[in-house]
Structure 1
Amino acid sequence: MKTPSFLQAQFRSGTRAKVAQPLRLMALAVALSAALGASVAVAQSDDYAEVNRLMRAGQFTEALTKADQHLANKPRDAQMRFLKGVIQTESGKPTDAIATFTKLTEDYPELPEPYNNLAVLYAGQSQFDKARAALEMAIRTNPSYATAHENLGDVYAKLASQAYSKALQLDSGNTGVAPKLSLIRSLFSADTKGARAAATAAVTAPVTAPAATAAKPAPAPTAAPVAMGSEKSDVEAAVQAWAKAWSSKNMQDYLAAYAPNFAPPKGQSRSAWEADRRARIVPRTRIDVGISDLSVTVQGERATAQFQQAYSSDNINVSGRKSLDMIKKGDRWLIVRESTGS
């Protein structure tokens, strides 16, 4: 598995995911703040900046001390607690990190990212059954969490590898097992080579104290992408218009940016999703949605837009990678699926 991007592009932390294979270590996505709402107070940004600076300098003891000082005053700050788990992972304390992420899942069971990180740590200890269970919880809380789906596929492949190895031990004459085992091993060998160069994990924090990892490469398209300049420009314009409508709290234009067949998360109905979005957007005094590093791929009547999204409102400042799957309806490009951390 490859390393995805995290929140906050300015931090660019260099922590490495120390696992047996490159399962991706995800940070809290933009959706986290929406899920927590006002229940999580945004801490002073200089705390995050200092912790991240210490991490980049390899001063993990000092970074952990600073994080603990922050949490002494704000013990329920999910973002700093997540950051603490990343520090513990990088400083070679997987048991402590597992405890930190486990407590996060208990306090915020609606968040998928801590489950994903638990899976990474369990996989690093070759506890693939526990990794599988954690990833299934991540997907249950957010069925559109692409990273967890891919990680789960890798865990299943590892479990299959173990099963094939055991079968070969019990019946060395079974000529059908060896090719399957060889295929899985070659799969992970190739994936590890690709991930090794970009195997970094990162932390999450408000905009003034951001963190990020190398962005996850876009999946290879099944057909050659259509690089029509006008179509790409139209998609880019649609994304910018969507962000502008969100920023200005123009609910009519914002909701109109989504296609009739848009699939809301967690199995919500379209009406329930729209009501939820109104409740989250309209009461805000201020919203600003910034788009950067926008990359568009067009294939006929379908397109994918990937970008760095910086969101800030009354008391929330977060940033992270976002992906919009879009279709062309008449002369408009509309959103059919959105995902974070991809």
Structure 2
Amino acid sequence: MHPGAAALPISLRTLAICAALGLSMAAGAARADEYTDVNQLIRTGKLADAQLKADRYLASNPRDPQMRFLKGVIQTESGKPNDAIATFTALTQEYPELPEPYNNLAVLYAGQKQYDKARIALEMAIRTNPSYATAHENMGDVYAKLASQAYGRALQLDANNANVPPKLALIRELFAPAPARATKVAAATPAAPAATVPSAPAVTVPAAKPAPAPTPTPAAPAPTAPAPVPEPSPAPEAAKTEAAAPATAQREEVEAAVRAWANAWQSRDMKDYLAAYGKDFRTPGKLTRAAWEAERKARIMGKSRIKVAISNLNVTVQGNKATARFRQDYSADTLNVTSRKTLELVKSGDKWLIVQESTG
């Protein structure tokens, strides 16, 4: 490789613990305990014990995708990438609707510098779930590595090409372990100082001027009207309460819209389900709105049973826009998938409609 094309560090995000995958098949508490035990052994580095427990479980449940995914994780952590590749490849063949095995397969290929294979695996993950944020991020890293290799080859062929070194420098800078990018999660951002609500100024009632001495006339002096007393300003607490009331009502409206969308989905009510999406909804990939609706109808109506449960719903509202983040537990026939979901909504008339949907 040309000296200007130094190895580019690449670190794709793998789903190292099965809780992130959410493939648990609805099989009761006993299986959930098995998954939890193996997960805990992986977390504590007891890979041999985790492997033994996983193998025992798979001896009687050989097709269980959750434990097989865990087995692939154990093989990866144990330094057996070829075995892990075989495990994840089998999962993609038997459960092609699941994007997570494709993602981890891509990570393994990238670790072996097989970036074209990594790209293909990530394309499958994104095709399976166009809203899979982790796969999109990893795809960007793979493309960056492929670009680095291409620029290095360009320099080998033409060492005097002045256009290439700056591009290589940009890619290296992008992946350099600078302090600002050393960790994904930064320290807690200090909260912005709370807005100070000035106290209502004290109301001073001017003292009434002494009435002038009456002029001695036969007629009595006309009575003087008392000076008007200004009404006191509302207390700051009351003003805050009044301002918070509309925001609370809007959040409740958004929450109701999200739950109605989930209910229409699990009821397979295509009319209400599709009506939950605004005309500006960003369809995944390059699908037209008509093609996306046809695909959703085929997937939803093709299931004999669907359940969509929402938990940890968090809604933020800014004007006529809102963001809803929550955990989604989806089950259809024999498949259960748990994921983090984000919906972007816009208020249209008296309705909140979805304009963007993402997972992860």
Fold shared per TM-score above 0.5: yes
* Superposition map of 1:281-296 within 5 A: 283=305, 288-292=309-313, 294=314, 296=316
Residue matched to 2:71 = 84
Report what 1:308 is aligned to.
327
Q: CA deviation at 1:152?
A: 1.5
Q: How far apart are 1:274 and its partner, in Å? A: 4.1
Deviations 1:154-192 (A, max 9, x none): 211111111112222333322111111000110111589
8 Å CA contact 2:322, 2:346 repeated in 1:
yes
Count of residues in correspondence between the two structures: 287
- Mark the CA change 1:264 to 1:179 in structure 2 (over 3 Å): closer, same or farther: closer
Q: Secondary structure at the match of 1:92?
A: coil
- Give the AA of the match of 2:176: S
Partner in structure 1 of residue 353 of structure 2: 334
Are 1:320 and 2:339 an aligned pair?
Answer: yes
Higher RCO (CA-CA < 8 Å; seq separation 6+): 1
Query: Aligned to 2:98, what secondary structure does the other structure show?
Result: coil
Separation of aligned partners in 1, 2:41 and 2:98: 27
Show the counterpart of 1:120.
107
Amino acid at match of 1:156: Y
Cα contact 2:315–2:322 (8 A) shared by 1: no
Query: Is 1:234 aligned to 2:257, yes or no?
Result: no
Q: Which runs of 5+ in 2 are unaligned?
A: 1-7, 186-242
Contact 1:295 1:306 in 2 (8 A): yes
Q: Which amino acid aligns with 1:25?
A: T
Question: Cα–Cα, structure 1 residues 46 and 308, in superposed 2: closer, same or farther, change >3 Å?
Answer: same
Q: Against the structure 1 CA distance between its residues 170 and 64, is the aligned structure 2 distance closer, same or farther, given a 3 Å change threshold?
A: same
- The answer to whether the aligner puts 1:99 opposite 2:120 as a matched pair is no
Contact 1:22 1:195 in 2 (8 A): no
What is the aligned counterpart of 1:63 among 50, 61, 64?
50
Please give the secondary structure, in 1, of the residue aligned with 2:176: helix
Over residues 76-97 of structure 1, what are the superposed CA-to-partner deviations in whole Å (9 max), with x where a residue is unaligned?
Answer: 1112211221222222222211
User: What is the percent sequence identity of the aligned residues?
Assistant: 53
| C-alpha separation in 2, matches of 1:31 and 1:117 | 11
Question: Structure 1 residues 30 and 52 mapped into 2: Cα distance closer, same or farther (>3 Å)?
Answer: closer
5+ residue gaps, structure 1, are: 1-18, 199-227
Query: For the pair shown, which has the larger CA radius of gyration, 1 or 2?
Result: 2
Residue 326 of structure 1, CA deviation? 2.1
Q: Once the 2 structures are TM-superposed, how far is the Cα of residue 47 of structure 1 from its aligned partner? A: 0.6
TM-score by length of 1: 0.69
For 2:249 and 2:328, how far apart are their aligned partners in 1? 18
Whole-angstrom distance in 1 between the partners of 2:249 and 2:11: 35
State the TM-score, normalized to the length of structure 2: 0.66
2:259 partner SS: helix
1:257, 1:245 → 2: CA distance? 6
| Map 1:143-292 → 2, pairs under 5 A | 143-189=130-176, 194=181, 196=183, 234=250, 237-243=253-259, 246=262, 251=269, 255-262=274-281, 267=287, 268-270=291-293, 273-274=296-297, 276-277=299-300, 280=303, 283=305, 288-292=309-313
Cα 1:333–1:186 change in 2 (3 A) is: same
- State the 1:103 CA deviation: 0.8
Per the alignment, residue 10 of structure 2 pairs with 21
One-letter code aligned to 2:312: I
Aligned partners of 1:128 and 1:159 also within 8 Å: yes
> Which amino acid letter does the alignment assign opposite residue 234 of structure 1?
Q
Query: How far, CA to CA, are the matches of 1:272 and 1:169 in structure 2?
Result: 47
Give the letter for the 2:254 counterpart.
A
